[in-house]
Chain A
């Protein structure tokens, strides 16, 4: 026990900087290369796909009337090749024992800045001086326009990574935020193609991410397995539906709504948490599961005439708040979601390290020991439930105003399990892991699976296997959740990005010291 606690709190600063900082460095470097490649290839793919003819940047540059454009494109290609190739070669070289020194970094920085400047010049030439387009039209809403923005962003990230490598390694989180956040902010400006799709995708992602972050407080930080988490989501959504719809003729603005949703949900979290305080582990799980089933049941049965029965509440207001006209442009929704998500992430990160967060860890590790060191277990547990529920209520309020209709079916057990799968997949108790998990799972569930039907139909026509066409992949979600939970728990219990403390706890096994060895023999 003592050894385990020591391992928990031992911080090898140098080692953590070496590994963690480098992780962020690698992530950013590959992001930059990926963006550059995407920016280069996107117009080609799109044009080849839609027009059916080979329309590549090369074609465009041959047909470009001025020699200036051709010249610029060649330099641009060189900078891109330098950056992408060096990113690919660097880990290989490293494995062979050679490190890229500051001189290489300087070359790459110059390449990145040059590329950034050239892309800006091209943009300026085409947009302002109305030069013949180099590789497709640059009208807003076209893929080529998006490609130029992606390229510029890629160069900017590359410049940051290679120009300020030591800073990136030293202040990894800050560097990651600085590099990635502007992308999130400018995304709706860079992609005009389908604003509704963007909102829908970002909305699903952000809502599941918020839910997962909230559940992570309860399950990851405090170690209380909550299987009825969708209940609080439902409460937030119904609160939003009640206070911003014609049902009761109350129309509150979104900013009030989300706090109201969070407050009501956290109240419920504390109230529902109270009877479960004395329960441990699996009993807690089953009781929360019961609550998770009761709440949608109450909504279905239209208790107190508040919830509209099985059809739910429809006609929730599109938030209209001063100059922020959400109905006219989904972008405002996007930015509101981004703002709230970032705020929640920062807040939870701080809470995790505050006194309460450390109390949760202690509680999770050993409740008796935690109580005897003076931690008020009741308050601490209730706080975990309340904070977890409040984030979920926030997500619920957003959900209500995005989909504008809430019904009990949206909050079934499978939602709770989807959120649990996100946490388990990403890394229980690790905020970065949870974010990663929500990206992966929402991508698979909301994009890959619905598209799989189409892909498999295409594939079946190509390879002449008619059986492939009939499969409805959207019914595979349950299998994916189940497989994710089982495989992660069996193979990598800490998740894709394990939290250090949690990994130690899950791997050490805890309960049995020598018995495991004995049973291995038996």
Chain B
């Protein structure tokens, strides 16, 4: 157990970089353990190791090349209008993944826990928003006029974000706080338990079928057409809102005292404690912000697709987690970029191999990242000190 602590000590280089890119955690703890992994790789021979090392170094380039080839192939096969449509779809989907991925990356950065419940907080937040909209009769308001729409959005976004944020805080308080210092297996199993509990509650409350949320009717109309691709106001809103929230979060983490407290807690909890930072409050705040962003993503999802189901959060959560890993876990900017990249891979993988393979493709990408470059695209390779 003690090696985790040892390997998580901060590398000066990444610390310096961390300030600039709003990185929450030094990726040193995730570096491949070459000194030890000699068993399999060593027995097969240095060739494998060389190939592995090469792939690991140029992973980002290879991945981007593959994505570019995939996009181009789609263009050749199905025409460039469809390619444009797909790029638009990918960006919309990517925006949602990015917002969810940020929650994963922040929580992992600060307490090194895969919060499996995050995807289900996303679904729950979607249902909160639906409930708020139904109770306050916002559907009629939102479709009546532009001002009404703005008002509805201004009501529904903060309310559901706060509700989801509180859900996240409660989850952390009840399920994770007591296990913060126990071996890693314990909070991980608890996280799965929380995920199943939330899914079970939603299954009982909302039923096993798709729930139509009507929010797809909120924003209507086509904004403009680029090269035959019609861009809807919904698309603009989705991407704009996601980018706005991400930049706001970036500024928050970089500029405010709480953001600073988060970064320092992520880097070294003991040292942060010694500096007088209230660890518990900081971690609660992290959960609050992550869950609130998931709520925003859930409303955006509702506005785009108009349906929710009790278990959509599970797969969406794993895909978003893949995005977080792709960008380097703990790295907020990385999670944002990773989200968009995963969106592109999902959509174009679907159009090349057929939609039924999209999720398998994402999981395969996840396995490849963790095999070849566990520190993510933006992570700095650090020699291990295990």
Binding site for B on A (CB under 8 A): 1, 219, 223, 225, 227, 274-283, 285-287, 289-291, 293-294, 297-298, 300-301, 366-368, 371, 376-379, 413-414, 417, 420, 424, 428, 475-486, 489-490, 493, 505-506, 509-512, 515-516, 518-519, 522
Q: Which of A287, A293, A489, A512 has the most CB of B within 10 A?
A: A489
Distance between A166 CB and nearest chain B CB, rounded to angstroms: 40
Q: Which residues from A are CB-within-8-Å of B183? A: 505-506, 509-511
Bound form: Cα–Cα A477–B201 in Å: 10
In the assembled complex, B257 has its CB within 8 A of some CB on chain A = no
In the assembled complex, B179 has its CB within 8 A of some CB on chain A = yes
The answer to whether B37 and A278 touch across the interface, beta carbons within 8 angstroms, is yes
Query: In B361-383, which residues have CB < 8 Å from any A CB?
Result: 363-364, 366-367, 370-371, 374
Chain B: CB-nearest residue to A227: B192
Bound form: Cα–Cα A478–B182 in Å: 25
Q: Which residues from B are CB-within-8-Å of A371? A: 36
The answer to whether B359 and A484 touch across the interface, beta carbons within 8 angstroms, is no
Q: Which residues from A are CB-within-8-Å of B374? A: 278-279, 283
Which of these, A274, A278, A489, A516, contacts B190 with CB under 8 Å? A489
Which of these, B195, B270, B363, contacts A291 with CB under 8 Å? B363
Distance between A300 CB and nearest chain B CB, rounded to angstroms: 7
Bound form: Cα–Cα A377–B363 in Å: 26
The answer to whether B188 and A282 touch across the interface, beta carbons within 8 angstroms, is yes
With A277-B40, A378-B40, A417-B192 known as contacts, the answer to whether A478 contacts B179 (CB < 8 A) is: no
Q: Which residues from A are CB-within-8-Å of B196? A: 414, 417, 478-479, 481-482, 485
Chain B: CB-nearest residue to A224: B185
Taken residue by residue from 11 to 38, chain B's Cβ proximity to chain A (1 for < 8 Å, 0 otherwise) reads as 0000000000000000000101100110
Q: What number of residue pairs across chains A and B have CB atoms under 8 A from each other?
A: 186
Bound form: Cα–Cα A518–B363 in Å: 40
Number of interface residues of B (CB under 8 A): 66
Q: Which residues from B are CB-within-8-Å of A485? A: 189-190, 192-193, 196
Q: Which residues from A are CB-within-8-Å of B113? A: 282
The answer to whether A285 and B360 touch across the interface, beta carbons within 8 angstroms, is no
Binds A, one of B1-9, B95-103, B241-249: B1-9
Taken residue by residue from 165 to 189, chain B's Cβ proximity to chain A (1 for < 8 Å, 0 otherwise) reads as 0000000000100111111111111
The answer to whether B185 and A275 touch across the interface, beta carbons within 8 angstroms, is no
The answer to whether A483 and B193 touch across the interface, beta carbons within 8 angstroms, is yes
Chain B: CB-nearest residue to A293: B363
The answer to whether B363 and A290 touch across the interface, beta carbons within 8 angstroms, is yes
The answer to whether A293 and B318 touch across the interface, beta carbons within 8 angstroms, is yes
The answer to whether B200 and A293 touch across the interface, beta carbons within 8 angstroms, is no
Distance between B337 CB and nearest chain A CB, rounded to angstroms: 20
The answer to whether B188 and A490 touch across the interface, beta carbons within 8 angstroms, is no
Distance between A368 CB and nearest chain B CB, rounded to angstroms: 6
Which of these, B179, B181, B193, contacts A484 with CB under 8 Å? B193
In the assembled complex, B114 has its CB within 8 A of some CB on chain A = yes
The answer to whether B193 and A489 touch across the interface, beta carbons within 8 angstroms, is yes
The answer to whether B185 and A478 touch across the interface, beta carbons within 8 angstroms, is no
In the assembled complex, B314 has its CB within 8 A of some CB on chain A = yes
In the assembled complex, B81 has its CB within 8 A of some CB on chain A = no
Distance between A445 CB and nearest chain B CB, rounded to angstroms: 13
The answer to whether A476 and B204 touch across the interface, beta carbons within 8 angstroms, is yes
In the assembled complex, B66 has its CB within 8 A of some CB on chain A = no
Distance between A515 CB and nearest chain B CB, rounded to angstroms: 6
